[in-house]
């Protein structure tokens, strides 16, 4: 896998106030799921505990680290979940070696997340505006870096507001965490890995882009099309009419043929820059699938590489 270009950690807050140290808080109890992934056993959040609701988060105020991954700091300053820390987009999605949307050096990512209060022994809740698209990117990054207690607020800040929970405009520095990286290489794929696995009938390369991108009609790299033998299932199919993640039963039916039908073992998800692919990674995790990787370079890498094969419709 290509080495990531190092950059300095992102400063989480430009203007901060002193943060009172909260002591004597009991740790939240979290159930973990342990599954065989690429031959290894790893501990992660149980599938039925990944998505949480606004009341779940409110009831655990002060016991979990809440990360706002909506994007710009101005949006965070205008209103956020109380106690949340702003995480800049480039913390887990940046241009690395000329490829847009890559995960930066894991140690740099961990340093940024420590600034946001992330520690290995404290549960993390990630949220975005509502559809889970960006929250899923940070969810995957945290799992890849080895965090064992990661949740996503289903419906994001929109669901929080609809539940009539308080919105805060306070800008304060979170208490620095301690996040030691324990990489899970079973959760990431690169170009070399996919090339090696193209003839493996037990692996499905799941392309989560739009049908036009997959067919090669919507070209966003030097070449359009898709990876040979890959299957197209647009990420928007994960959402209901309210832009929320669909109920489990509907998701299971959606992915039944892809995961449990013709294909059987492992799935690799991709899109253009590893965000839509991360959303499907999240959904497959919620469905209990353990052997899932994100192709971090996605089509931004594959479509710009003249040495790899491309198919189109």
Instruction: Copy the structure tokens of residue 116.
Output: 């946001």
* Ordered strands of the 65-68 beta sheet: 51-52, 150-153, 124-127, 65-68, 85-86
Residue 271 corresponds to which tokens in the numbers above?
């899109």
SS (H, E, C) 53-64: CHHHHHHCCCCC
Query: Nearest CA to 177 among 9, 296, 49?
Result: 9
**Closest listed residue to residue 131, CA positions, set 199, 69, 79:** 69
From the list 84, 152, 271, 292, the catalytic residue is 271
Task: Work out the angle between the directed axes of helices 276-286 and 133-145 (0-180°, nearest 10).
Answer: 70
Catalytic, 256? Answer no
For residue 280, give both structure tokens: 């499907």
DSSP string, 169-212: ----PPPP--------GGGEE-HHHHHHHTT-TTEEEEE-S-HH
Angle, nearest 10°, between helix axes 133-145 and 106-115?
110
Q: Can you tell me which residue has the tokens 């998800």?
A: 269
d(CA 235, CA 242): 15
Burial letters 40-64, b for 16+ CB under 10 A, else e: eebebbebebbbbebebbeebeeeb
Q: How far is CA 222 from CA 21, 194, 235, 237, 301, in A?
A: 51, 19, 23, 27, 10
Active site residues: 271
């Amino acid at each position: 896998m290509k080495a990531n270009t190092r950059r300095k950690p992102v400063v989480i807050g430009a203007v901060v106030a002193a943060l009172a140290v909260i002591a004597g808080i009991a740790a939240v109890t979290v159930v973990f799921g342990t599954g065989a992934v690429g031959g290894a056993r790893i501990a992660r959040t149980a599938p039925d505990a990944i998505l949480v609701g606004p009341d779940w988060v409110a009831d655990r105020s002060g016991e979990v680290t809440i990360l706002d991954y909506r994007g710009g700091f101005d949006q965070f300053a205008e209103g956020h979940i109380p106690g949340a820390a702003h995480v800049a987009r480039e913390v887990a999605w940046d241009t690395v070696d000329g490829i847009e949307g890559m995960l930066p050096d894991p140690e740099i990512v961990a340093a940024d997340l420590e600034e946001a209060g992330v520690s290995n022994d404290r549960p993390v809740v990630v949220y975005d505006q509502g559809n889970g698209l960006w929250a899923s990117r940070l969810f995957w990054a945290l799992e890849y870096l080895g965090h064992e207690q990661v949740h996503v607020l289903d419906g994001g800040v929109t669901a929080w507001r609809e539940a009539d929970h308080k919105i805060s405009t306070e800008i304060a520095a979170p208490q620095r965490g301690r996040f030691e990286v324990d990489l899970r290489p079973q959760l990431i794929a690169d170009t070399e890995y996919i090339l090696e696995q193209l003839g493996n009938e037990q692996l499905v390369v799941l392309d989560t882009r739009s049908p036009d991108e997959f067919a090669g009609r919507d070209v966003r790299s030097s070449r359009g099309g898709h990876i040979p033998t890959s299957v197209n299932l647009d990420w928007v199919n994960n959402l209901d009419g309210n832009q929320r993640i669909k109920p489990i039963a509907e998701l299971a039916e959606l992915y039944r043929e892809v995961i449990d039908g013709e294909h059987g073992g492992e799935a690799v998800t991709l899109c253009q820059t590893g965000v839509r692919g991360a959303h499907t990674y999240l959904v497959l995790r919620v469905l209990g699938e353990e052997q899932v990787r994100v192709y971090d370079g996605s089509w931004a890498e594959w479509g710009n590489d003249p040495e790899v094969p491309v198919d189109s419709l």
